[in-house]
Each structure stands twice: as C-alpha cells, then as structure tokens.
Structure 1
Amino acid sequence: MSVHNILVFDIETVPDVDSGRKLENLQGLDDAQVAQAMFQQRLAQTQGGSDFIRPHLHKVVAISAVFRHDHLDGGLKVRSLCQAEDPEETLIRAFFQMIDKYTPVLVSWNGCAFDLPVLHYRALVHGVPARHYWDQGEIKSDSRYNNYLNRYHTRHLDLMDVLSAFQARAVAPLQDIAVMLGLPGKLGMTGGEVWEQYQAGNLEGIRRYCEVDVLNTYLIYLRWELNRGRLGNGSYAEEVARVRKHLQAHGDAAPHFQEFLAGWQG
C-alpha cells in the first residue's frame, strides 16, 4: 500500500487588534472597542455588505488538522496544533514545520481565499520560515509543476474552488455540502461566534469547533476522491471506517467526536 500523506487544515481567527490599533490610531481603546471599530470600518468599506475584515487583519487562534499518513498509529490523527495557551507564533511555526517535514498534500475549504493568505501574513509578522511551502522549483525541481501556490496545481486542493469549477458564482458553504452528504456539519458554534468565545476565554471550544470543520472537510475530500476515481468503493469504505474508528477510540476524551458520530448519517 502506498504511503498516504494528506493534511486537511482549517484555521480560526480573531481581529488583530494590535495592528488595528496601529493602523487606525486607536490608542487608548481596549481590545473589544478596537475590534468593534475594525468591524465598523469594514462595513463602511463594503457599503454595509459585510463586516468580515480583510485577511491581513486577522490573528490565528487555532489551527486544526486531519493528518492521514500510513506511519501514524491507525494511519490517522485528528487534532489541533500545539496547546490552547500557546502564542500565535508557535501555531504558525508548527504548521509550516509540518509542511517542511512531510510535504503533504494540503486540503482545505476556502483555503486559497482565506486560510493561506492569513497564514502568509502571520508568518511574515512573526518571521516564521516556510521554505518548502514557498518552493516553486528552487529546492525541488518537480515543485515547478506542482506546488502549494498555483491555484490549479494539486499540492494544495481547495475543495470549495475545485467543486465550483473555480467559478465564484458557484461556490457553496462547507456547511451545506457537509449536510447534503449526511455529515453533521458545524457543531458547538459558528464562525461568527469565534471572537465572542475568544473574549470569554473559550479557546478549547474554538479548537473543538475547528476540529469538526476539518473532519467535515476530510470526509468530503474522500467522497471527491471516490468521485474522481482515485478511490474505489472498497478503498473509500476503508477510509471512512478509519475515521469512525479514530473518533470512537478517542471519544471518551473528546465529546465533540461523540457528537460528530451521533450526527453522522450513513
């Protein structure tokens, strides 16, 4: 059996209030007031369309992953990187170190438009090296033809982009596709609640929410691999069973895994 090397990832973010304070000259305001000013400015920029701030003004508070590799115990691990209390730099560094060590295929949902740009900016802020991630043939010649940066290469698969045929008018939310396929979708909170939960100190809840997102994304990815013929029916069933087994084995220490299993149809 060939070695699998898949890293499905997702990030959760909050407003980068330190940068917002500098850029908008908001000294003297507390974090909540600065964030509110950033939201209001974005609303004005979009003429009331959205208060979702631009990628360079986000701070990463969680990175979660499904890592599928034959050398792992059971071949699979679902976890959030580092510890909840670790600083952002540690999270960013751990993510790019995994890429440098394993050079996995990255899988995301909306990673091209959001997750990766945020990680680029935050790695720049913290001076985190990402040598293999940025390689376009300077280190490994084959990276010229298949790298993480080219939208149409397969070293990074943004499933939202791929399934919409790279048409912005055809993109779908992760929640919708997950539920359509009998998956639980989001559990515990929504993306719009992350800032509120962060202010309340609920980092563990944010990490669990992020882990549910990567589980949904990975299972959609497996269905897509079946759809494009890289997995046969038997191999697909084995991979899905592997996920169930992992969640069952770790459910006692992770109630959100139990909840995911309970809501997983089929």
Structure 2
Amino acid sequence: MAESISDAAIVAVLRPFVRATRPVLDGLRESDPFGLRARVGALDRSGPGAVGPDDAGERGLREKMLDALAAVEVPGTAAWAAMDADARCRWWVYRVGRFVTLIAAIPGLGGALARTLPVSAAVGTAGQGLLLCAIAGEHGIREEDHLVALLGAVLFRRDLAVPHQLSAADDAAVAARAAELTGDLAGAGSTPTLRRVGGAVWRLGRALFAVEDELDKRPRGRFYHEAIGMLPVVGVVGKYFGEWSGLKRASKQGHTWLRSGGTR
C-alpha cells in the first residue's frame, strides 16, 4: 500500500528540523540555572595561593567545594570530561527528556498552540528528535544526511533515501526555515534561557505537524499510560509517564540504529 506521505516530504520536513536542533541542543547544554560551571571556574582560579597560611580552614573548605562542584555532571566540568559516550547519552535522556516530556504532557503550557495542534504528539516527537540528534552527536555523528536518516528510521519507521547534496537555492531555503524554528535562540550573543529553548521546542513541534499522519509511528509509552492519560485530573500524570517511556524507547532504538550502521 502506498504511503500517504512520501519519503521526499518527510526529508523536506526533517532536514531543517535537524539543522535547527543544533542551537537548541547548545541551549540545553549551556543553560546552567545554578551557575555551577561559573562557581567551579571561580574556585579553580582562586587556587591554593589565594588564601594565606592563617586561612587553612577556609582553604580546605574551598577545596572541598571545588571537589564537590567538579563532580557535578554538567558540560564544562571535570566530571563531564571524564564521562564516556554512553554516560553522556544518559545525561541527555534526562536533560532533554524531563524538559520536553513536561511540555508535551501539559498542553496548557503551549497557550494558543495547544488549541491548534496535537500537542503531546507534536512536541513529544520533537523531543525524541532532539534526543536522537544529541545521542548521535555524542557518538561523533553530526552529518545532516545521517541524522535525517536516523530520525526517519526511529520516528517514522522509514528507510529514507536522503540526497547527499543540495543545490545552493535548496540549501538556502533549508537554512532560512531552520532559522525560523530556532528564532532568537540562534541570535548572536543571545542567552540560552529555558524560555527561549522552550519556545524553540514548540516551533520544532509545530514544524512536525506538517507530517501529522506519521506522528503516531514514533516510540510511545505503554497502553496503560494512554488509558490513564484519558482520565480527568490524573490524565496529565499518565501523559507525562507515557511521553517519558516513549522517549526512553526512542533512545534505545536510536542506539540500536547507530550501532547497526544505519539499519533497523
């Protein structure tokens, strides 16, 4: 039976999506609400020589603080540098997962968008796409064509034939569309606040609405998550855990796809 949406149409949606994920992932990576990296850097710069001989107790406390903060697994810290690819991928599951899963589970957070889109499906798929791009990056895979194929395989169960070269006009169109999706997050000198990152995630979800009929193919939660999600009041809990379960499944399928060299 013929597919209702062509592979070419899927690729046309995923290519700017993939290109737009770069500043979004940078924003998720760089957002440091507790200032841990700055505190680590400040303590490190102070060094042992910054305290006098009569301040041995304070110096000891500073060193303990430095050791504790450096052990926090945040990009830019010593703990992050010591993590292997699998550990960093697990970090991304929680970093991306908790953020976008909450958005997808609570349609009210989307304002007017929630009244015009299937929010859980669109934003949940966008979150899975972000996670897959992050995981691929931790394994050294950043080529746009490869990422488009990865997302096609896991999110839409398609073995996509992705053109390896674009004309100058097509590349410019993709770049313009990607810039629309990232918005002010990609602006020069813009601070990657959670609000800006969240806005970009909403736009990524809206972009996937162009292939709405394919969204149900993505990895999803258990049947009982959907059942709970339909109940009043407690439905948001079911939606949250359903999206969380689906995202972890997407992570496992992405790893399988990457290890198999790009085949299911």
TM-score (norm 2): 0.28
Q: Which has the higher contact order (CA 8 A, sep 6+)?
A: 2
Which has a greater percent of strand? 1
Is the helix fraction higher in 1 or 2?
2
The higher radius of gyration belongs to 2
TM, length-normalised to structure 1: 0.28
